Amino acid sequence: MKTKQPTRRAFIKTAGAGAAWFAVPRFLHASSSLNGNPSPNLIVIFCDDLGYGDLGVFGHPTIRTPHLDRMAHEGQKWTNFYAAASVCTPSRAAIMTGRLPIRSGMCSDQRRVLFPDSAGGLPSSEITIAEALKPKGYATACIGKWHLGHLPQFLPTNHGFDSYFGIPYSNDMDNTTKIGREAFWRPKTEYFNVPLMRNEEIIERPADQNTITKRYTEEAVKFIKENKEKPFFLYLAHNLPHVPLFTSDHFRNTSPRGLYGDVVEEIDWSVGRILETLKGESLDQNTMVVFTSDNGPWLTYDQHGGSAGLLREGKGCTFEGGMREPTIFRWPDHIKPGVVTDMGSTLDLLPTFCKLAGADAPEDRVIDGVDLRPALFGTGPGPRDLMFFYRGQQLYAVRKGEYKAHFTTELSYYKDNKKTYHDPPLLYHLGHDPSEKYDIAKDHPDVIADIRREVEKHEATLIPVEDQLAKRLVKINKQDG
């Protein structure tokens, strides 16, 4: 999984109006002391169902995201960055552990995600980013959507986080109405009896989702200010723009893109508040901030869903639109601003963060993530050359270098489609054809043979584990006592 690929170049924008984009090598702007603190602060801002094309800096013509645009200008815009799954629960398990969800039992062919009646969750044997950083003195906080188990033993406070404030699963669950999808077109807070939790206690039900982005932001700002004297890891996982869409009064009916745009623009405001706080607390140059999403847009919700831009399909499938995410890294004076075309994944955050913090990554298990520092600092090519695309427990596709082979295809959730097997597999050159339109399998049997060998090596590392998503709570019949 660490075979070398040709060094690519970043494109950085010169200062000034009308500046042009031109190619220059990336290089490292960093000191070993990190301004006197050897352990940088680490912030992950994780969206839910945000599409590759939903930010201004990633090409959306009407959603205004000035803070994220500036974050990309001051940092790095990654154009080949992937979530490890195309739906919530397995994707979140992967970002937390650096492991494909097939290794932790956090994906299933029976149920796509965890539900309020689920009995499973992220096993205690898994090691999260928070747990890996704790021995180095990091304060840790999880704010937002967890979706890795709502029972006490699975909550963030039992997975290395000092505190938790958020909802334990998706904001469309606990639907109290009988009007079905109509509840999503004209959503009201009372339609979704989702709990808001602080640590292990429910403090509000239903959660007022109209103000939830604002409250998550306030919690994040408070955590940063209270922990500015020590290294910290903040995982801010917005439960939007997953449907149903909610936004505060200040942003409602303000975006040219309608309600979906209102929601994304409020998230952009939130990012601005985080960056502003870091500057105000003199933490800016000692904090890496990563912005990305758990999977692609939920296309079947029409204008309430987002856009994958030029990428094919969206949430729930293994085409590029389902798993390639809009991603930005920012760390002033340490990473050179630019556009990075090297491949990366949310799987890579755990090993990269461990290296930056001087922490030990787990060595007693397979870690699917790689250390992205060469690509971040421009000291060499990105080490990721392979990406495996699972749907449930089935491997559907593999990318190696610029080539992606689809052994099985299936469209986004809730579409009238069927599973199709391909032999030979479909083959696309993603550099030439990011929209996956032109099958070139007949011209490259050698590439397909090489990818098949990678599949064999990968599958030899898999060990059967318990399916956590298939486990359900037992309903007790009151008449039985």
Which residues are annotated as catalytic? 88, 147
Closest by CA to 270, choosing from 168, 144, 157, is: 144
3-state helix, strand, coil in the chain (%, to 5): 30, 20, 50
For residues 440 and 429, the answer to whether their CB atoms sit within 8 Å is: yes
Strands 196-198 and 338-345: unpaired
Amino acid code (one letter) for 341: T
Q: How far apart are CA 402 and CA 440, in angstroms?
A: 12
Q: How far apart are CA 190 and CA 26, in angstroms?
A: 50
User: 428 forms bridges with which residues in the sheet?
Assistant: 404
Amino acid code (one letter) for 193: N
Q: How far apart are CA 99 and CA 115, in angstroms?
A: 22
Our measurement of the distance from residue 245's CA atom to the centroid of its chain's CA atoms, rounded to an integer in Å, reads 19
Q: How far apart are CA 83 and CA 99, in angstroms?
A: 11
Helix (H, G, I), strand (E, B) or coil at 6: coil
Place of tokens 């079905």: 180
User: 76 forms bridges with which residues in the sheet?
Assistant: 329, 338
Tell me how crowded residue 183 is: count the other CB atoms within 10 A of its CB. Answer: 18
Burial class (CB in 10 A: 0-12, 13-18, 19+), 416: exposed
Q: How far apart are CA 46 and CA 49, in angstroms?
A: 10
For residues 121 and 469, the answer to whether their CB atoms sit within 8 Å is: no
For residues 408 and 420, the answer to whether their CB atoms sit within 8 Å is: yes
Amino acid code (one letter) for 402: E
Instruction: Give, for 420, the enclosing helix (H) or strand (E).
Output: strand 420-429
Strands 386-391 and 394-400: antiparallel
